[in-house]
Structure 1
Amino acid sequence: MKKIIESPRVRMTVLLIFMTLFCFSLSVFRYYISETKVFLFLNWNLFLAWIPLLLSSFIVIFKIKSRISLAFIIIIWILFFPNSPYILTDLFHLRARNSIPIWYDLIVILSYAWTGLICGFISLNDIEKRLFSYGKKNVVNGLIIFFLFISSFGVYLGRFLRWNSWDVLNNPFGLFNDIVVRLIYPLEYTKTWGVTLLMGVMLNFMYFTFKWMEAGNHDNIQPKKVNH
């Protein structure tokens, strides 16, 4: 029991819960002071950002080995994963308002964005480690890079075209049409591919920084061999 409580994953999960509560308290306090619901929507966005982490945690906890089951969960995971970096784009809502100082709103948005991003990166790392059981390292790394670019494309669809993960079921043909037309006529949608490319590169830099920092910390806590 003690080993479970002291495990890095449990500690990180507890930290994320506290980060989420901190975010929630910021938005509630803002609502109490200003009597406006301006940033309460961030709570829903953060809830959606938790879904990829819950899905990948399910894979880890129950040690899903069936390739069909794993593929099915990963497909659902891909649909929700863009919600994690999406909160970064909520900085678009940052502007001076009379009731609340802009620095407070900046802290609110950045707190939600950081928490959502960490949820996403941990879930992506879970998926990466699981895929190592089925493929070569270079292939898996290629898939991870691809997932991050797919995610940035999903962020574009959500921010600028107002699609969301649920529209795969609610309006699949409309969503499919918006995606296909951009694939067929890429030069007519330079904004789409500009956002996708640049945000994809940024997310890759951020994720691999996160990943290698975690690997470095793990190496540092390993017991050193003593030469006799």
Structure 2
Amino acid sequence: MSALVLGAVAVVLLNLYAAILVVLRSRVYGVALYRPMLVNIGLSFLPVLLALVFGVGLVGIVPAISSTAQSAIGAGTLVVWIYLVVATVLWLLLFPNSVYLITELNFSHRAEKTPVPLWYDIVQTLALTLSGIANAVLSLAVVQTMFILMVDPPSGGVPASSWTFAGVVIVLGAVGVYLGRYLRFNSWDVRHPASMLRKLVAHLRQRGKALEAGGFVLTHALLIALLYVPLFSLAWTALL
């Protein structure tokens, strides 16, 4: 358990380090503060907070319901499942914000002529990207653990169904990153699904865009999966 706590602390420190580097870039080299990076760090960490809050809420709601007479007729179980579905959907809408930081490696914040050394921007942007990946891994690990406990209690190893769940989330996360980077969609744009669908269809009809989108999603999803699977397996072993 101490290893898991250490990992969570390391993720928080990585986010703080990335934010500090963004601020110091402005203070030390006298350039404008690139506020979008700070906003993106906050958005990237939101899935972690949401996963932890929903996890704590689940721990509290299950005993509360099981102690009532309603659970005897199945109403309590229904409430738990509604809670799980709503919480997971809300978390899933925010999850791409973490993986999105991979796209900051394009150095779009760096002007052609700048007093900021290239080595500094490399470290700053790499820290930013790694913080996003770390947030994605930690938040998905929390949600996958809840999935295992509520849907497919383990008899030893990690249940295959939970790996399927994690795989779907990772692919959807990559899709969300593509939509955010190239179509400039935000999580809250789901309030207008018809408009989103029209823009997406128009985008994919452009020559080569469907192939580009497929390649983007595949490469990004594989990258996250190659990092996530061994890390979660090690964490699960430590938890047991």
Whether TM exceeds 0.5 here: the answer is yes
- Within the candidate set 118, 125, 128, 1:102 is matched to 118
Q: 1:196 to 1:172 in 2, by over 3 A?
A: same
Counterpart position of 2:151: 134
Note if contact 2:183-2:200 (Cα within 8 Å) is conserved in structure 1: no
Q: 2 CA distance for matches of 1:121 and 1:52? A: 10
SS in structure 2 of the partner of residue 166 of structure 1:
helix
Alignment of 1:59-70 (within 5 A): 59-62=54-57, 63=59, 65=62, 66-70=80-84
Q: 2 CA distance for matches of 1:189 and 1:183? A: 5
Q: Whose RCO is larger (CA < 8 A, sep 6+)?
A: 2
Note if contact 1:157-1:163 (Cα within 8 Å) is conserved in structure 2: yes
Does residue 195 of structure 1 match 2:212?
A: no
- The one-character-per-residue Cα deviations of 1:66-93 (angstroms, maximum 9, x if unpaired) are 1101110110111110111110110112
Counterpart position of 1:84: 98
Query: What's the offset of the Cα at 1:20?
Result: 2.3
Q: 1 CA distance for matches of 2:123 and 2:223? A: 21
Counterpart position of 1:147: 169
- Within the candidate set 9, 12, 17, 1:14 is matched to 9
Counterpart position of 1:226: none
* Structure 2: gaps (5+ residues): 63-79, 154-158
Q: 2 CA distance for matches of 1:131 and 1:183? A: 34
TM-score, normalised on structure 1?
0.81
Q: 1 CA distance for matches of 2:208 and 2:10? A: 44
Count, aligned residues: 213
Query: What's the offset of the Cα at 1:183?
Result: 8.3
Counterpart position of 2:76: none
Note if contact 2:48-2:139 (Cα within 8 Å) is conserved in structure 1: yes
Note if contact 1:186-1:193 (Cα within 8 Å) is conserved in structure 2: no
Q: 1 CA distance for matches of 2:121 and 2:205? A: 40
TM-score, normalised on structure 2?
0.78
Q: 1:23 to 1:77 in 2, by over 3 A?
A: same
Q: 1:68 to 1:50 in 2, by over 3 A?
A: same
Farther off after superposition, 11-20 or 86-95: 11-20
Counterpart residue identity of residue 22, structure 1: Y
Counterpart position of 1:225: none
Over the aligned positions, Cα root-mean-square deviation in angstroms equals 2.7
Note if contact 1:91-1:109 (Cα within 8 Å) is conserved in structure 2: yes
- Within the candidate set 120, 129, 141, 1:125 is matched to 141
Counterpart position of 1:40: 35
